[in-house]
Structure 1
Amino acid sequence: MNNNLTKIVILETSDVHGNILPISYANNESAECGISKIATIIERERENNENIVLIDNGDMIQGTPLTYYYAKIDNKKANPIIDVLNYLKYDAGVIGNHEFNYGRKILDNAIKQSEFPWLSANILAKATNEPFCGKPYVIKEFSTGVRVGILGLTTKYIPNWENPDIISDLNFLDVVEAAKKWIEILKQDEKVDLVIVSYHGGFERNLQTGEVGEKLTGENQAYQLCMEVEGIDVLLTGHQHRYIENKIINGVVVVQPGSGAKAIGRVEVSLEKHNSKWRVVEKFSNLIYCDGEQSDKKIEDIVEEVENDTQVWLDTSIGKINGDMKVHDYFQIRIKDSALIEFINRVQMDSSGAEISNTALFDNNSKGFSSKVTMRDIVSNYIYPNTLKVIEVLGEDIKAALEKSASYFEIYDGEGIKMNPKFEVPKPQHYNYDMWEGIEYDINISRTFGHRITKLNYLGKPMELNKKYHVVMNNYRAGGGGDFYMFKDKPVMKDIPIDMSELIANYILARGTIEATVNENWKVIHD
């Protein structure tokens, strides 16, 4: 045995979004995902490797009906998600943007319950100017004497999405500047041999060419971290839900394990002792998918009670739909008005009093509503814990937003309507295509980008571009999320701090039966 050589294996989960069990809540069918399956991989890695670092990279405590039920219906007991992470003996967790979605009480209690540190080097409490959850980094030292520094960073773009009341006491600093500061401390003061940066953010540039792949808003800065910050050995990433492995950028090995606990990121680092100092001699990354893995029964037991309660809650019938409100074709939903989208917009308008509304079909998993509606149907179709805001905008802002959504389609080539690939790669962004109620408009995809809205009426007359209108939309969009900058910092006329799933349920409960209607106020056309 060579005591001058050692190997460290780093395991990363990211963007799990509450997927603890290997099921799809939309239909309760089994699925190749879940921390209970990932746990089997973790256990195998621990059996085969002496030196393991296990990190969650953020967006863990929100995202499934189980997490919603715990956060919104019954949170008197300990958070089952944290119980699972404690059982798996995580070394650290990083704050993701969705950690704030259920409010600070849920997040603060989760941090207190955790038997591992949560890291936030660039999220500071305004009152103290210190990391709000306690630590910017943690150090793990192995029996070989190797000291590993783990620095936690979070996308600084959170104020563009989150309800201001939830984060009013926090400052979100630039991750590159924070990384430079703390890595110097890790190297100079803490004398670490290996620096791991766990960043809840993704890549703003092409990993091969370095070309800009999206607008440089600061939401994703992983490439910049690799190129501008000295001393990073390993960069764990997330947020974009991409599957990235076997990549080294400017000497930094990177990995990203997708979303929904379908895979775990793995980085293997070999170090050699030279003149009493350890140095990295080899490193690589790969992904391990949980397809075919056994589910850890202990984890199933940990969440059994809240899971059973969630299932009962999900299958409670709350009303009926008279007519067709199902999704038969995802693309057709986005090229002409439909009963489902019209219904969601009408719920928003009824809840807010606004006469104009927009919403999106967030992904290609929504099934719509059948004749009997349960809570399972609602949370399966409206997957985010969004609240609503009514903001005051100009007619020209509405037109600009419509033009941005209109870029969802490629320029018509005579062979059918096609989706712009930019809304699919590097990750699906169907949630950034809005459909409106309360106005009448046409999207002509024969026209160039920015000149596609050929009809825009309000109450039967052309909309006045310099006139003010009140529009209801989800809090993500109202803050300019999705690069809808025309909405950012607009006056908020009304804030409805109730989750949309609850508003939809209340709307149905109050009426009993909902008529599926389509007024055909908008459509996609071509010359």
Structure 2
Amino acid sequence: MKITFLETSDMHGYVAPTNFSDDQEQGFGTAKVAAKMKQLKAEANGPVITIENGDFIQGSPLSYYIAKSQHPVAALTAPVNQLGVDAHVLGNHEFNYGLDYLKEAISSYQSPVLAANIVNDTGEPFFGQAYTIIEKEGVKIAVLGLVTQYIPHWEQPATIKGMTFQSIVDTAKVYVPKLRELADIVVISYHGGFEKDLTTGEPTELLTGENEGYQLLHEVSGIDALFTGHQHREIAGVVNGVPVVQPGFRGSFIGKIELTVNTDEGHVRVVEREAALVPVADAAPDEATLALLAPINEELNTWLDQPLGQVQGDMRITDPMGARIKEHPYIEFINQVQMAASGAKISGTALFNNEGKGFGSTITMRDVITNYIYPNTLAVVQVTGAELKAALEQTANYLVSEGGQIIFNPAFIDPKPQYYNYDMYEGIEYTIDLRQPTGHRITSLAFEGAAIGMEQPLDIVINQYRAVGGGNYDMFSADKIIREIQVDMTELIADYLKAHPMIEAATNQNFTVIA
């Protein structure tokens, strides 16, 4: 018998095949996933199990609008329920809108939501269920759900109060032997990825525990299949005898694993394993899925197209890399918004990806939300001059010089682009000299016209993700936060534009990068 597993992960609230910035149909989205999944189920030669691996309720203008409007989150999760999913796993971005919203989302799903390694003070799963067992044609299949343990480094303490996030390796070592007693097949759905090259075993990132997939595959026996996500990578293969998939993001692929099993006198044995990624681009969007959100999409588009302000000059981004090495008016603007909202005299922000187009002559909410893509709030941290310099030295590592040309460090593009971890600051003057050795590239650093002392206290406004150390910025932490601005950045941008309906596309060129 052949058992087919179909996985989605990191769809991030993209239902219709749109990126919300134009009318061109894109090759992703839950509606295309739904159509392709119907096809795959019809073609399957045996039972099918579907798994949704997390990060669905945050990430698109649609998911943002639903979270901030009067619509229930059930309106957003309805398309996933229509997929007929057998099990859900929590992702890290499920926490972004707070615990109450997350609980509302969990209650809206029509199948089990799993998170074995998030436990309460008694050691039990905080969200109630660690695994589910599904029986298909007499074969029992256990699905164990695991989540990246690194969530406390990104979320506000109040959101995760009472939760302990355990290593997925330690958790699997407890659960997999138990599940082998209870089921014939044991698979893991992990909202996390791989910390090492799957072929060579060489680390591909700092070994912080954010991603533990490689260690899991090499230290825990008894796993029949592993479904992953979080890193937005496109992976399909067999690693250490275990079939593995990771299906990109926004619903661009469905991860597919087929296990052929033999049953001999009641004993089930896996005899063949196959892993593949199935693109959905060629599928026509499922009309029933689109219909679920049609009324909200009309509201959404009206909201997205409302004008907020005007630009004098040019604030468009045509060269994302250029905007990182020479201050761009858009970056200057975001830092000015952060400083105005917080009262801090120093601000840091990033150009999150290479898709943002900046602002044209008229700024709409669509422009704001497709450029500033995360539901960040702000925090003011008080640090020393030495800690600020350490942060700048770390951000300098995201740039390298090749033949005199400055490029983004390839080490932070593959396997996952980390453009969001390269920060640019306002309120200080600094120089990054890439000719100098690592750790000594900040060759000048001044505040209000004077060199910054290493013991000098400084108040800096950054997004909450960075303020608690996100991106492995260990010089920042929750205990250094002195105040928070509990308003989403997109709202702060809109409010700033209401107060300043005409903004000037200008920069003060307060930082210099030398190759």
TM-score, with normalisation over the residues of structure 1?
A: 0.96
Structural mapping, 1:152-191, within 5 Å: 152-188=145-181, 190=182
SS for the counterpart of 1:351 is helix
Within-5 A mapping of 1:101-500: 101-126=96-121, 128-143=122-137, 145-188=138-181, 190=182, 192-245=183-236, 247-410=237-400, 412-500=401-489
2:70 aligned to which of 63, 74, 77: 74
Paired amino acid for 2:41: R
Answer whether contact 1:95 1:154 (CA < 8 A) is retained: yes
Cα offset, 1:489, TM superposition = 4.0
Shift of 1:78: 5.2
Q: CA deviation at 1:14?
A: 0.5
Shift of 1:403: 0.9
Aligned residues: 514
Deviation of 1:413 (Å): 4.6
Name which of 495, 498, 501 aligns with 2:490. Answer: 501
Change beyond 3 A, Cα 1:78–1:474:
closer
CA deviation string 1:124-166 (max 9, x = no partner): 233x5322222100011012x1100000000000000011111
User: In the aligned structure 2, how far is the partner of 1:61 from the partner of 1:252?
Assistant: 29
Which residue of the other structure, out of 7, 22, 28, is the alignment partner of 2:23?
Answer: 28
Q: Residues 147 and 388 of structure 1: is their aligned pair in 2 closer, same or farther, counting only changes over 3 Å?
A: same
Q: 1:413 to 1:20 in 2, by over 3 A?
A: closer
Q: Please give the alpha-carbon distance, in whole angstroms, between the structure 2 residues aligned to 1:200 and 1:377.
A: 30
Measure the CA separation in 2 of the matches of 1:302 and 1:224: 41
What secondary structure, in the 3-state scheme, does the structure 2 residue paired with 1:130 have? coil
Between the aligned residues of both structures, percent identity stands at 45
| Equivalent in the alignment of 2:48 | 52
Change (3 A) 1:59 1:288: same
1:64 equivalent in alignment to 2:60: yes
Match of 2:83 in 1: 88
Counterparts of 2:43 and 2:283, CA distance in 1? 17
SS of residue matched to 1:470: strand
Deviations 1:419-470 (A, max 9, x none): 2111211111110100000100011111122111111111111111111111
Does the aligned pair in 2 maintain the 1:357–1:436 contact within 8 Å?
Answer: yes
Aligned counterpart, 1:522: 511
Q: Distance in 2 between matches of 1:29 and 1:508?
A: 28
Q: Deviations over 1:176-215 (max 9, x none)?
A: 1111111122112x2x111110000000011001111111
Q: Distance in 1 between matches of 2:2 and 2:40?
A: 12
Confirm or deny: 8 A CA contact 2:67 2:73 kept in the other structure: no
How far did 1:55 drift? 0.5
Distance in 1 of aligned mates of 2:297 and 2:105: 18
Structure 1: distance between partners of 2:48 and 2:387: 51
Task: Give SS of 1:139's match.
Answer: strand
Structure 1: unaligned runs, 5 residues or longer: 1-5
Q: CA deviation at 1:81?
A: 2.5
Give the match's secondary structure for 2:100: helix
Aligned to 1:24, the other structure's residue is in SS state: coil
In the alignment, the residues of structure 2 paired with residue 80 and residue 517 of structure 1 have an alpha-carbon distance, to the nearest angstrom, of 41
Q: List runs of 5+ in structure 2 lacking aligned partners.
A: none
CA contact (8 A) 1:70 1:79 kept: no
Contact (CA 8 Å) 1:345, 1:357: kept in 2 or not? yes
**Contact 1:132–1:170 (CA under 8 A) maintained in structure 2:** yes
Query: Aligned with 1:517: secondary structure?
Result: coil
C-alpha distance in structure 2 between counterparts of 1:514 and 1:78, whole Å: 35
> What is the aligned partner in structure 2 of residue 3 from structure 1?
none
Is the contact between residue 392 and residue 490 of structure 1 (CA under 8 Å) also seen in structure 2? no
Distance 1:24 1:78 in 2: 20
The 8 Å contact of residues 30 and 80 in structure 2, kept in 1 or not, is answered as: no
Q: Secondary structure of the residue that 1:417 maps to in structure 2?
A: strand
Q: Which whole-Å CA distance do the structure 1 matches of 2:378 and 2:201 have between them?
A: 38
User: Which of 6, 11, 18 in structure 2 is aligned with 1:16?
Assistant: 11
